[in-house]
Amino acid sequence: MRGKIVLVFLVIAVAAVTAQLGGHGLELEGLGGGGGGHGHHHVEEYIDYRAPPHYHWDYAVHDLHHHDIKNQWEVRKGKEVKGKYELLQPDGRKRIVEYVAGKHGVDYKVRYEGHGIHGGGIGGLSSGGGN
């Protein structure tokens, strides 16, 4: 009885994988019928290259020791891309850039927050030049 239950679960698992792959694309080499007998599994993934691209990504860095503070995100839905990035500039101001790209080109909106420190240094540090 226990063997039958295990066999039923095995059949259900194989059926679920086959259904997930669309009923094709699964080849099990070396299981009966000759061949090399290596037992390797080969799964082909179907990719519809005609489907409109969709993605979303983002990242952030917050390194206070090196004054490296920035982040960015971007989303694509079909032919339109939207995104935003922010970074702390050497003069202490935050630069914020928002953009939209599509069939008519790219539109950028740039703005700044904060006040710049004369000499370009962060936290009173000078980036060079005389005082």
User: What are the pLDDT digits (tens) for 62-95?
Assistant: 999 998 999 999 999 999 999 999 999 999 999 9
pLDDT of residue 125: 44
Give the C-alpha separation, 43 to 15, whole Å: 15
All structural domains of the chain with their residue ranges? 2-43, 54-113
Q: How confident is the model at residue 28 (pLDDT cuts 50, 70, 90)?
A: very low
Higher pLDDT, 70 or 41: 70
**89 CB burial (10 A radius; 0-12, 13-18, 19+):** middle
Q: What is the pLDDT of residue 47?
A: 82
How far apart CA 83 and CA 48 sit, in angstroms, is 25
Q: Please report the pLDDT score of residue 124 as a whole number.
A: 46
The pTM for the full model equals 0.54
Q: What is the pLDDT of residue 85?
A: 97
Number of Cβ within 10 Å of residue 76's Cβ equals 16
pLDDT score recorded for residue 120? 54
